[in-house]
């Protein structure tokens, strides 16, 4: 069942309707989601003192024609007009995970369990699942945590730090993210050829023939003076 929409500023709208229209208290009360006695108090200046009236016609919540029809017929009820523009939904920021004090000492064990069993988890994934800090994760990875000798790998579900459903979902997301990163790295590496393949092959040039010195005939060349000497 759809919930009937009401004005964004009900009392300010009621103030304007009381001051500028001949609508009954019941009509105004039903449209604004108020009690008729509250609307009567607005008319008597006992309620909503200092509130500036909000014109529902200007804001597109009513039309002049609807108001005039309702003024002529006290039994007629006003209805909100369909908004021309859809208001964007407000995305609430997720509050950080709260961990009871009695279980906070178990966080390092859970972090160590994830590091050992799910190396595909990034620090951000562990922080989101367990509710720890990046500094703590880095100390556990580097075995520099103040209580490193006593930290043991324990399933976070067993410790009550998260549910099995949350853990499975986090593992699925981390694995998918890890696979996408590997594919991008492989694709990037395949596009780069080794330097040896990008250079043109070196071809050896044939040995250069020595030029004859001046005054001496080159070998295997025709010398007309030799024929004259033979004659």
Given a cut of 80, whether residue 229 has pLDDT beyond it is no
- For 55, list phi and psi in degrees, rounded to 5: -75, 115
Tokens of 185: 């790295």
- For 51, list phi and psi in degrees, rounded to 5: -85, 125
The verdict on pTM exceeding 0.75 is: no
- The predicted structure's pLDDT at residue 178: 85
The mean pLDDT value for 13-34 works out to 91
- Cα 136 to Cα 52, 119, 122, 226, distances in angstroms: 54, 16, 13, 101
**Euclidean distance between CA atoms 205 and 209, whole angstroms:** 12
Structure confidence at residue 162 as a pLDDT band (50, 70, 90) = confident
Q: 57-90 pLDDT, tens per residue?
A: 888 888 899 899 989 998 888 888 775 555 555 4
Residue 188 CB-density burial (10 A; 0-12 exposed, 13-18 middle, 19+ buried): exposed
Of 57-66, 111-120, 186-195, give the lowest mean pLDDT range.
Answer: 186-195
- The predicted structure's pLDDT at residue 215: 53
**Euclidean distance between CA atoms 25 and 36, whole angstroms:** 5
- The predicted structure's pLDDT at residue 179: 87
Task: Report the percent of the chain where pLDDT is more than 90.
Answer: 25
Of 13-22, 139-148, 179-188, give the lowest mean pLDDT range.
Answer: 179-188
The mean pLDDT value for 2-8 works out to 70
Q: Are 28 and 74 in contact (CB under 8 A)?
A: no
- The predicted structure's pLDDT at residue 138: 93
**Euclidean distance between CA atoms 140 and 156, whole angstroms:** 15
- The predicted structure's pLDDT at residue 209: 57
The mean pLDDT value for 161-171 works out to 89
Of 89-93, 111-115, 131-135, 150-154, give the lowest mean pLDDT range.
Answer: 89-93
- The predicted structure's pLDDT at residue 1: 44
Using DSSP, state whether 219 is helix, strand or coil: coil
- The predicted structure's pLDDT at residue 201: 54
Of 13-27, 41-55, 134-148, give the lowest mean pLDDT range.
Answer: 41-55
Q: Are 171 and 118 in contact (CB under 8 A)?
A: yes
**Euclidean distance between CA atoms 17 and 180, whole angstroms:** 59
**Euclidean distance between CA atoms 190 and 178, whole angstroms:** 18
Q: Are 43 and 18 in contact (CB under 8 A)?
A: yes
């Amino acid at each position: 069942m759809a919930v009937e929409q009401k004005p964004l500023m009900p009392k300010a709208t009621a103030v304007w309707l009381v001051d500028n229209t001949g609508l009954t208290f019941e009509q105004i009360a039903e449209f604004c989601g108020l009690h008729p006695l509250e609307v009567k108090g607005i008319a008597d200046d006992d309620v909503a003192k200092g509130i500036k009236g909000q014109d529902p016609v200007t804001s597109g919540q009513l039309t002049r024609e609807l108001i005039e029809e309702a003024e002529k017929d006290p039994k007629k009820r006003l209805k909100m007009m369909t908004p021309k523009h859809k208001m964007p939904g407000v995305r609430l920021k997720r509050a950080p995970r709260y961990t009871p004090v009695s279980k906070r000492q178990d966080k390092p064990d859970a972090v160590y369990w994830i590091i050992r069993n799910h190396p595909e988890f990034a620090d951000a994934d562990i922080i989101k699942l367990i509710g720890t800090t990046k500094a703590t994760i880095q100390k556990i990875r580097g075995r520099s945590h103040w209580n490193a000798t006593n930290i043991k790998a324990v399933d976070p579900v067993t410790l009550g730090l998260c549910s099995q459903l949350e853990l499975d979902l986090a593992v699925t997301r981390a694995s998918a993210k890890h696979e996408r990163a590997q594919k991008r790295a492989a694709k990037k590496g395949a596009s780069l050829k080794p330097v040896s393949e990008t250079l043109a092959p070196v071809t050896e040039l044939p040995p250069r023939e020595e030029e004859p010195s001046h005054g001496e005939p080159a070998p295997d060349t025709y010398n007309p003076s030799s024929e004259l000497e033979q004659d």
